[in-house]
Structure 1
Amino acid sequence: MSMPPATNRAPRKDVARNRQLLLDAGRHVFAERGLDATLDDIAHSAGVGAGTAYRHFGSRQGIIDAIFSDVAHSFIDDAEHALTIDDPWRGFVTFVERLAERQAADRGLYQVFTGQSGGCISREDWQTLSSSITAVADRAKESGVLRDDVGLSDVVGLFSMLGPVYDLSTATATPIWRRHIDIFLRGVRTDAPHGSIAAPPGLSADAISLAMGIQ
């Protein structure tokens, strides 16, 4: 059986190669500059024409969706790993630290997790992720180390506040975000002194998803 001419296969190879170049460049550009980077910026970084980028993805949102479509799965994997750690408190700490590490290294990932600049986790993935975070926290509470009033909204709220701290860490080449994580973790232990500021109860998963624009 004769093979088709190589010239018939080359264009398809070029299409696949260009798509991969754009995805790789998009991950790098979004990690460094965040989701406000344009598709033209990504095309330039990939070394292809803007028209090629638009033919593949149609818009900036198209490549955001392609790159981050399964982002929640990495967070869910982190939570599942935390649940295998014998010490529930160490599991909670490991989970929070791992999420912070991922987001400190990738501005786009941080924006997706917090629902900014067109980044958003799907409702189905959010339901799984929120349940996973709650399971990690509940296990630490049942062990008597994590405060009973700490829950999902406190973990999500922590990361929503860390954006400027990540920027400061980058600007100073110092992982100052680790200090803020440590302060948070010390404050949510049952043996931490009670604060003097009146605070409302935590938000539900539905309230958080509404605020984050999860459809």
Structure 2
Amino acid sequence: MPSGGIPSPARRDARRNRERLLECARRAFADQGAEAALDGIARDADLVVGTLYRHFPTRLDLLCVVLEPKLRGVIDEVEAALGLEDPWEAFRSLLEVLCAAQAGDRAFGDFLARRFPGDDRTETVHREICALAQRVLERAQAAGVVRPDVTGADLFLLLWASSRVAETTRHAAPSMWRRHVYLTLDGFRASTRLNLTDPAWDAGQLNRALTEPVKQAHRCTRPVGSADV
């Protein structure tokens, strides 16, 4: 570092390159999902893919940096929902916050719909979101406003369905997902409920479903020097 604390030209260039990569990655991941081509991201930033790998050794490194601000914001919003006085409004707010966050951001939906075993960063965030959601759900059930047979797995299945609706209708009707979330919310109400013929998933079944796509798309953690991206 030169005297006076002014970064060297090389360091300024590295900082600019990193910011350009993040800007292009945000757009690509939001539009194409977590499997967006990394060489395409580098090309959009007018850089070679080797520069991307020097800043972000794996796809998951890049994805985590891109999503981290949004994830923290969502967690803050879910915590705020937990503090609402009305248990039903807290439950409604929980689902609306999570579904709104993934609408128009395919990578965020991919992150919620997957697990990345062995990665402490993602596992910590998943556990935090799941724990908060479970507290909101249990409070609503204890108040008698949400049917007692709803489980945390049911909430995640709603997220998957809402993500698909949002992706399919995002150009023609960007807020259509909200209509279907509200229709599903009515199905979660404790009053006048139908009997469910299929059992809910337990945590093990949900985790296996979340983990399986990662096994089939292991490129998310491909190391430096891998051919693509």
* Same-fold call, TM cutoff 0.5: yes
How many residues in Structure 1 have an aligned counterpart in Structure 2?
209
What is the DSSP-based 3-state SS (H/G/I as helix, E as strand, rest coil) of the residue aligned with 2:175?
A: coil
Distance 2:42 2:192 in 1: 50
**Structure 2: which amino acid aligns with 1:61?**
L
Is 1:165 the counterpart of 2:165 in the alignment? Answer: yes
Gaps of 5+ in 2: 215-229
For 1:189, the equivalent position in structure 2 comes to: 189
Contact 2:153 2:200 in 1 (8 A): no
Contact 2:38 2:49 in 1 (8 A): yes
Is 1:100 the counterpart of 2:90 in the alignment? Answer: no
Distance 2:27 2:21 in 1: 10
Following superposition, the deviation at residue 69 of structure 1 comes to 5.1
Distance 1:107 1:168 in 2: 11
For 1:29, the equivalent position in structure 2 comes to: 28
For 1:175, the equivalent position in structure 2 comes to: 175
Q: After the TM superposition, which residues 147-166 of structure 1 pair with which residues of structure 2 at under 5 Å, given as runs? A: 147-166=147-166
For 1:208, the equivalent position in structure 2 comes to: 206
For 2:65, the equivalent position in structure 1 comes to: 66
**Structure 2: which amino acid aligns with 1:126?**
H
What is the CA deviation profile of residues 91-137 of structure 1, one whole-angstrom value per residue up to 9, with x for unaligned ones?
1101111111110021100001101899x873333222211111001
Contact 2:116 2:122 in 1 (8 A): no
Distance 1:9 1:67 in 2: 26
**Structure 1: which amino acid aligns with 2:209?**
A
Distance 2:174 2:69 in 1: 29
Contact 2:116 2:123 in 1 (8 A): no
Following superposition, the deviation at residue 66 of structure 1 comes to 3.0
Contact 1:75 1:99 in 2 (8 A): yes
Is 1:38 the counterpart of 2:37 in the alignment? Answer: yes
Distance 2:165 2:115 in 1: 16
Following superposition, the deviation at residue 32 of structure 1 comes to 1.2
For 2:77, the equivalent position in structure 1 comes to: 78
For 2:222, the equivalent position in structure 1 comes to: none
Distance 1:68 1:5 in 2: 31
What is the CA deviation profile of residues 57-90 of structure 1, one whole-angstrom value per residue up to 9, with x for unaligned ones?
2343331233235765344322211111111101
Following superposition, the deviation at residue 12 of structure 1 comes to 0.6
Following superposition, the deviation at residue 167 of structure 1 comes to 1.8
Following superposition, the deviation at residue 45 of structure 1 comes to 2.2
Q: State the TM-score, normalizing by the size of structure 1.
A: 0.85
Comparing 75-84 and 58-67, the one that deviates more = 58-67
Distance 1:136 1:4, change over 3 A: closer
Gaps of 5+ in 1: none
Comparing 96-105 and 159-168, the one that deviates more = 159-168
Contact 2:74 2:101 in 1 (8 A): no
Distance 2:9 2:168 in 1: 46
Following superposition, the deviation at residue 183 of structure 1 comes to 1.3
Comparing 23-32 and 42-51, the one that deviates more = 42-51
**Structure 2: which amino acid aligns with 1:91?**
A
Contact 1:146 1:188 in 2 (8 A): yes
Q: Larger relative CO (CA 8 A, sep 6+): 1 or 2? A: 2
Following superposition, the deviation at residue 47 of structure 1 comes to 2.8
